[in-house]
Chains A and B, each alone.
Chain A
Amino acid sequence: MSTTTQHPGAHAGAAEATPHGPHLGFGGVIASEWIKFRTVRSTVWTLAITLVVMVGLSLLVAFGITSAMDSSHAHPADTGIPGSEIVTLGYYFAQMTIAVLGVLTITGEYSTGMIRSTLAAVPRRLPALWAKALVLAASTAVVSAVGVGLAYLVTRPMLSSHGMAVDFGDRTTQRVLIGCVLYLVAIALLGFAIGAVLRHSAASIATVLGVTLLLPILVLVIGNWVSWVRDLGPYMPTTAGERIMSTSTAVQAGSSGAGAGSSSGPTPLAPWTGLGLLAGYVVAVLTLAAVMLRRRDA
């Protein structure tokens, strides 16, 4: 039957399939997802706000701390906050916009019906999911790295004049800077995975913000009365993940004053263990999303 098929005259020559002709391939699916990712406004907006928040917050805190040091003639060590923490602390607000971006990357397709076009073009479905996750993760990594870089640049004059310059040779500093990028990538993928499971923008955004921001606070409050809930604290997704950016060591937990727990609180996880646990949660939800994508009607 295919032998009787002729191509319309308008494009007859070109339509003859070239040897490695136009086939569906993972590279093509990634290219497609990249086009989709950058051609909607929500991407541009959320990433722009992420950058503004990361740079702005660092600038504000650096200014506040150095001003305070000027007026009290304090030593850098007295502040208890190293430069690396100042250039990364925008993560706390950036995780909200990044989580929303992760959600919208997938729920935007469900709310508009685009998902049917996507899955018709990639009927095996999973390559589309992985390609989306890849594009999202890479973009988030680049933008958060740029955010940290810009925050470093704008705070550098203030910090170095007060002996708080970021020392890139320091192992802990390296971990905090890289950790900030990895943490935000994990949060983006968490939002994406939750969005893929729930398929609804508002429900997914509420859920991911609840998990990242509300859950640690809830556990803390309830933990005041219920001891086993308090012991769960360190294992909450963001509480665990944030450890990668901590500069106080685990043994000294509670003495830093920056932490929320009382001195009798549970021991925080080691930095990489914490990030690993967050990654584990992300993988678990992503796996659920993949299974459901395969099973459900689009």
Chain B
Amino acid sequence: MIDVHGLTKRYGSKTAVDDVTFTVHPGKVTGFLGPNGAGKSTTMRVIVGLDRPTHGSVTVNGRPYAQHRSPLREVGILLDAKAVHTGRSAYNHLRAMAATHHIRASRVDEVIEMTGLQSVAKKRVGGFSLGMGQRLGIASALLGDPKTLILDEPVNGLDPEGVLWVRNLVRYLASEGRTVFLSSHLMSEMAVTADHLIVVGRGKLIADAPVSQVLAQASGTTVRVRSPQATQLVELLQGPGVTVSSTEPGLMEITGSTAVLIGEAAARAQLVLHELTPVVSSLEDAYMALTKDEVEYHSTTSGIHPDHAGAHAVTPASSEPDGVDR
């Protein structure tokens, strides 16, 4: 159980986390989602006492992290894969971490085996790939057999097999009744891993709900309409909540309405339609829609809006793996 209450963290004049309140419950995987720079890592660092909150309070399993008698047995942390001395071997790193809590050496061997690091455990960490570094970080987090796991971007740099392994591992740990809190900027990954989502953008809380609910609330249906009389059609459709965007003459993306309504309106006005396609919005679209105003670093190369960028350009069918949930 992690309780974040009214958390604000400023670095100088820059506000990284802005009055965020949420609770992470045991027994399920909670995803912490947001674009880069949204304040995910900062929040996680504050939870384990590495950074001091400017305002607000954070407790883990009922008390501030630093006040636990055995912090590593309460909370396992993967903050980033590089929180390891590059000149030391993975085995010695884990042994040193274990020694602080009098964790026996056999447990070190166990976590090395669990994370598949046997063959490189005696090698210096400096030569590790990003994926091996992640595995070492996860091994370190599991060392104390903790009730709560905090993993910052655990699948970053992992190959598909590793991604699947992390997904199964965190789901298993949660099924045992542990609290699992993991961050990602990849909605697709969260959708198949997490039960619950906490979404942040620019330091502010955007959503705190079950995965299915976040998706439903974020995905407005888009309809693609092709018509030689586009201008008249737009006038017909104008109303509250309806937005129309156009990328080429005669082709429109309409949100806030449905194919049925548009088709009927066109028929009444006797307008010609060449295409009327409901576009199933993907999870990535939903996520983009949620955070589009909150992205700190907008890419401006293409000039198109984020919600037009990816999935809309391809056919709806190609986004199906994510669309399954709907």
A and B form one complex:
yes
Alpha-carbon distance A123/B140, docked complex (angstroms) = 16
Interface residue B127 (Cβ < 8 Å from any Cβ of A):
no
Contact B87–A108 (Cβ < 8 Å): yes
Contact B66–A23 (Cβ < 8 Å): no
Nearest CB to that of B178 among chain A residues?
A: A5
Known: A15-B145, A39-B88, A298-B51. A113 touches B70 (CB 8 A): no
Contact B83–A36 (Cβ < 8 Å): no
Contacting B97 at CB < 8 Å: which of A27, A32, A115?
A32
Interface of chain B residues 15 through 63 with chain A (CB within 8 A): 26-27, 45, 48-52, 61
Choose, from A6-14, A179-187, A189-197, A209-217, the stretch at the interface: A6-14
Least Cβ–Cβ distance between B25 and chain A, in angstroms: 9
Specify which chain B residues have a CB less than 8 angstroms from the CB of A41 in the assembled complex: 87
Interface string of B71-82 (1 = CB under 8 A from A): 111000101101
Contact B84–A5 (Cβ < 8 Å): no
Contacting B79 at CB < 8 Å: which of A6, A17, A120?
A120
Specify which chain B residues have a CB less than 8 angstroms from the CB of A291 in the assembled complex: none
Specify which chain B residues have a CB less than 8 angstroms from the CB of A42 in the assembled complex: 87
Interface residue B95 (Cβ < 8 Å from any Cβ of A):
yes
Q: How many residues of A are counted as interface, with CB atoms below 8 angstroms from the partner's CB atoms?
A: 46
Interface residue B86 (Cβ < 8 Å from any Cβ of A):
yes
Interface residue A2 (Cβ < 8 Å from any Cβ of B):
yes
Contact A114–B84 (Cβ < 8 Å): yes
Nearest CB to that of A31 among chain B residues?
A: B99
Contacting A113 at CB < 8 Å: which of B80, B95, B102, B177?
B80
Known: A15-B145, A113-B83. A119 touches B88 (CB 8 A): no
Interface of chain B residues 86 through 120 with chain A (CB within 8 A): 86-89, 92-93, 95-104, 106-107, 110, 114
Q: How many residues of B are counted as interface, with CB atoms below 8 angstroms from the partner's CB atoms?
A: 54
Specify which chain B residues have a CB less than 8 angstroms from the CB of A117 in the assembled complex: 79, 83-84, 93, 97, 140
Interface residue A116 (Cβ < 8 Å from any Cβ of B):
yes
Contact B83–A123 (Cβ < 8 Å): no
Residue of B68, B70, B77 with most chain A CB atoms under a 10 A cut-off: B70
Interface residue A206 (Cβ < 8 Å from any Cβ of B):
no
Least Cβ–Cβ distance between B257 and chain A, in angstroms: 46
Interface string of A112-130 (1 = CB under 8 A from B): 1111110111111000000
Nearest CB to that of A296 among chain B residues?
A: B52
Residue of A14, A39, A40 with most chain B CB atoms under a 10 A cut-off: A39
Contacting A23 at CB < 8 Å: which of B79, B102, B140?
B102
Specify which chain A residues have a CB less than 8 angstroms from the CB of B123 in the assembled complex: none
Alpha-carbon distance A14/B108, docked complex (angstroms) = 13
Contact A24–B50 (Cβ < 8 Å): no
Interface residue B85 (Cβ < 8 Å from any Cβ of A):
yes
Least Cβ–Cβ distance between B77 and chain A, in angstroms: 5
Alpha-carbon distance A298/B77, docked complex (angstroms) = 15
Known: A8-B176, A121-B101. A297 touches B147 (CB 8 A): no
Known: A116-B83, A121-B101, A297-B52. A24 touches B88 (CB 8 A): no
Alpha-carbon distance A28/B99, docked complex (angstroms) = 5
Known: A36-B88, A109-B85, A114-B85. A120 touches B177 (CB 8 A): no
Contact B97–A112 (Cβ < 8 Å): no
Contact B96–A5 (Cβ < 8 Å): no
Known: A25-B102, A31-B99, A108-B87. A2 touches B140 (CB 8 A): no
Specify which chain A residues have a CB less than 8 angstroms from the CB of B103 in the assembled complex: 22
Interface residue A35 (Cβ < 8 Å from any Cβ of B):
yes
Interface residue B200 (Cβ < 8 Å from any Cβ of A):
no
Known: A113-B82, A114-B83. A39 touches B100 (CB 8 A): no
Interface residue B203 (Cβ < 8 Å from any Cβ of A):
no
Interface residue A143 (Cβ < 8 Å from any Cβ of B):
no
Contact A123–B48 (Cβ < 8 Å): yes
Interface of chain B residues 129 through 144 with chain A (CB within 8 A): 140, 144
Contact A5–B97 (Cβ < 8 Å): no
Alpha-carbon distance A114/B140, docked complex (angstroms) = 12
Nearest CB to that of A20 among chain B residues?
A: B102
Contact B69–A24 (Cβ < 8 Å): yes
Contact A32–B80 (Cβ < 8 Å): no
Interface residue B211 (Cβ < 8 Å from any Cβ of A):
no
Chain B residues close to A by CB (< 8 Å): 1, 26-27, 45, 48-52, 61, 65-66, 68-73, 77, 79-80, 82-89, 92-93, 95-104, 106-107, 110, 114, 140, 144-145, 147, 172-173, 176-178
13 further interface pairs, Cβ-Cβ under 8 Å (given A1-B1, A14-B107, A298-B51): A1-B26, A2-B61, A5-B176, A21-B102, A32-B98, A35-B96, A39-B92, A40-B85, A42-B87, A113-B84, A123-B65, A123-B68, A298-B50
Sample 8 A-B pairs with CB under 8 A, ordered by A number.
A22-B70, A24-B70, A24-B71, A29-B100, A108-B87, A112-B86, A119-B50, A121-B101
Chain A residues close to B by CB (< 8 Å): 1-2, 4-8, 10-11, 14-15, 17, 21-25, 27-29, 31-33, 35-36, 39-42, 108-109, 112-117, 119-124, 295, 297-298
